[in-house]
Amino acid sequence: MRQVPIIDIAGFETGRAAVRRAIAQQVDRAARGVGFMQVTGHDVPYSAIEGLTRAMDGFFGLSLEEKLACRPPSAVVNRGYSSPGSERLSYSLGVATPADLFEAFNIGAAASDFPGFDLPLESYPENIWPVRPPDFQDGVLGWFGHAGALARRLTRIFAVALDLPEDYFAAFQERSIDVLRLNNYQAPRGGVALEPGQMGMGGHTDFGIVTVLWADPVTPGLQIQDGQGAWHDVVPAPGALLVNLGDMLARWTNDRWVSTMHRVAPSIDAQGRAIRRRSAAYFHDGAADAVVSCLPTCADADRPPLYGPVTVAQHIAAKLAGSRGLTLNPTASREAERLRR
């Protein structure tokens, strides 16, 4: 099991300059070395987690017919229900693998959330809400709000860690195309016949700025890849939320900070029996039209920019066309080499 640092961020809002600097330094070390951290002092109440898990259990406990009624009109519309085997996250990197085992439900920032702005529906699609369970929307939106506040709080810490003004990323975050993905990894009852290389969720990097993750403390489950290509189990610490960096921060920092390759191992035990595992990933991705290019402090003559400028919408569209549209992404060759190790 690889060590993922546990960082208490409570003092960043009200602490003295030395406390704030110490927290930012811890984040910088984790971002350079692992790309993941376990965050405490996050101010997300346990009641929000209870509401979230009730909503998840209620929805994923429905019949497949009821869940399929919440499918989006097109696979690349990142909303509503995704059935088991319908996605392949490795395709977002241009790497072909067997179908992933998870099922999921997605909500996110919609165009109607920003009245007065003519936002593209391909980046801000409207949400699809199930009829049952009746408290699903309240439980999910409660968590969505808390996770979003934490993500924006983290970006202020990131800016300080990168020797930037604390509000540096704010201009890139207005009308951010944030998405919450609820995942259910429990395989079918009884023995499970896996294809070679088949995963609960295939290897991938996250697309945006930062991900806030709640997950059941279950193994096998989340695994992260080190610099030599080996995979390590990660289990959430009590009271902590997992946080990992996405591709946008790797591009901004010229890979000074790591958008870590990760996957979810099949949720079965040594006897092939199903293990219950759930997770909820809040993706804070940035505004669709924001242009991300290397920070001037992260490149020089000896280390030129590794990535060209790209808008958030362009990058995410290419990734979704892979994972959900099942068209191998040709624009992620650097990340793909890591997965092929």
Give the model confidence (pLDDT) of 290-333 as tens digits. 999 999 889 988 999 999 999 999 999 999 999 999 999 998 88
Q: Using alpha carbons, select from 309, 5, 72 the residue that is nearest to residue 172.
A: 309
| pLDDT at residue 188 in the model | 56
> In this structure, which amino acid lies at residue 20?
R
Q: CA-CA distances (angstroms) from residue 333 to 18, 96, 204, 312? A: 41, 13, 12, 18
Spatial contact of 31 and 258, defined as CB atoms under 8 Å apart: yes
Average pLDDT over residues 142-169: 97
What are the tens digits of pLDDT across the range 229-278?
999 999 999 999 999 999 999 999 999 999 999 999 988 877 777 788 99
> Residue 1 pLDDT > 50, yes or no?
no
Confidence band of 56 (pLDDT split at 50, 70, 90)? very high
Confidence band of 98 (pLDDT split at 50, 70, 90)? very high
> Residue 19 pLDDT > 60, yes or no?
yes
| pLDDT at residue 43 in the model | 94
Percentage, residues of the chain above pLDDT 90: 84
Report all structural domains of the chain as residue ranges with CATH numbers, in order of start: 6-339 (2.60.120.330)
Q: Using alpha carbons, select from 180, 205, 178, 159 the residue that is nearest to residue 285.
A: 178
Average pLDDT over residues 117-141: 97
State the CB neighbour count (10 A cutoff) for residue 273: 13
Whole-number mean pLDDT of the chain?
93
Cα–Cα distance, 119 to 87 (Å, whole number): 27
